[in-house]
Structure 1
Amino acid sequence: MMTNGLAVDRRFAPLLSRVAPRGGAGTALVTAVTAALLGSLLLAVSAKVQVPFWPVPMTMQSMVVILLGMAYGSRLAVATVGLYLLEGLCGLPVFAGAGAGPAYMAGPTAGYLLGFLLAAGVTGRLAERGWDRNPLTAVAALAIGHALLFVPGVAWLGVLFGMEKALTVGLYPFWAATLLKTALGATLLWAAWAALGKRPEA
């Protein structure tokens, strides 16, 4: 079957395709556009809501990025994150801080924003291979997604401030929250598939 323009094993169609209305190309386009708009809105909301945590407050944005990848599949997830970044580039207040626009996106968070695209695309591809159907592979997929967020994020901070400071401010404070969000995301995925009964594509 085709999903988001990619040929994938019909057994491993993304979660969205199992709950979206079925129909022709027009219905699929409406579904994709609606999903992208809702996904970009969810990313904006998740960036603004901070949860008290140790050693620093956490947002759920990284988990939402990765879950969008797992639920949407690679192409639609990348398009959704791309739409979110375009909104920020245009100056809309969608990011965790108060800033937006080209200057903000070229600043210290630029690497993490690039990581959003990488994480969405790769975890979406893993979902298309069935990694979201099993608790262990779901945890692995979310862990890979988080790594793809941190690698370019910390690397860019290293270019700006040196690697020691980059690790101190851009990685070490977030270990505990990342572990928690990985476990929570995998649980949500497994619960979603359990609720659907893992029905095969008809």
Structure 2
Amino acid sequence: MTLYAALTASRPEKLAIASLVAIAGSILLTLSAKLSIPFYPVPLTMTTFVVIGLGLALGSRLGSAAVALYLVQGALGLPVFAGTPEKGIGLAYMMGPTGGYLLGYLLAAFAAGTLAERGMDRSPLSAFLAAIIASAIIYVPGVLWLGALFGWDQPILAWGLTPFILGDATKAALAAAVFPATWAMIARKGGL
């Protein structure tokens, strides 16, 4: 089935296609998490790039659905997250230091998708701004969760924010350059 045929399909067919796209997005997230570079305090991955890209390319609902599916797979113990062993550790991992950032992924995909739906992906500058906003959203629950776990007397910002700003800005620029054209094409054809 061509992309055009998929985008002009009936409602049940669109639901089936959207489900497959969400599954593909969760697989892409897993691959982006597993291809990591050792870094302190957490491995450096392309996961934020993919999270933001899913929102920009698929919109708020479908982008969020892909991220939610990824999170459910992790909660069930599948080894989808960066640094998880062959047999994932599920909710225990999600309640650790990374937990707030994982929640931030869901919020960021929704925000990037919402901004794309409102036209913030029509120029490279506005797409970059949307990607930066989505990237910043990841930090809010991430840093708050680190503070709750370890205490605010610890160097929380040095652990969970400042080492990642430059890399995430680069990933946001890359996402803004790559993914908006996909969303524009899907929107022109009537969406999924």
TM bucket normalised to smaller: 0.7 to 0.9
Shift of 1:58: 2.1
Work out which of the residue numbers 141, 155, 180 in structure 2 matches 1:152: 141
- Counterpart of 1:43? 29
Work out which of the residue numbers 156, 163, 171 in structure 2 matches 1:166: 156
AA in 2 matched with 1:161: F
Residues 29-83 of structure 1 show CA distances to partners (whole Å, capped at 9, x for unaligned) of: 1110110100000000000112478998621001100110111111111111111
5+ residue gaps, structure 1, are: 1-16
Shift of 1:21: 3.7
AA in 2 matched with 1:75: R
Root mean square deviation of aligned Cα: 2.7
C-alpha distance in 2, partners of 1:19/1:179?
36
- Residues 18 and 157 of structure 1, relative CA distance in 2, 3 Å threshold: farther
User: For 1:91, what is the secondary structure of its paired residue?
Assistant: coil
Say if 2:123 is the partner of 1:137: no
Say if 2:135 is the partner of 1:118: no
- Counterpart of 1:94? 80
AA in 1 matched with 2:55: G
- Counterpart of 2:71? 85
- Residues 18 and 137 of structure 1, relative CA distance in 2, 3 Å threshold: farther
- Worse overlay, 45-54 or 116-125: 45-54
Work out which of the residue numbers 172, 182, 186 in structure 1 matches 2:172: 182
Shift of 1:185: 1.2
CA contact (8 A) 1:142 1:185 kept: yes
- Counterpart of 1:29? 15
- Residues 112 and 19 of structure 1, relative CA distance in 2, 3 Å threshold: farther
C-alpha distance in 1, partners of 2:40/2:72?
32
5+ residue gaps, structure 2, are: none
TM-score between the two structures when normalised by the length of structure 2 = 0.85
AA in 1 matched with 2:75: L
- Worse overlay, 167-176 or 139-148: 167-176
User: Which structure's relative contact order is higher, taking Cα pairs within 8 Å and 6+ residues apart?
Assistant: 2
AA in 2 matched with 1:154: V
- Worse overlay, 157-166 or 170-179: 157-166
Q: How many residues align?
A: 184
AA in 1 matched with 2:59: G
User: For 2:125, what is the secondary structure of its paired residue?
Assistant: helix
TM-score between the two structures when normalised by the length of structure 1 = 0.81
Percent identity among equivalent residues?
Answer: 51
- Counterpart of 1:64? 50
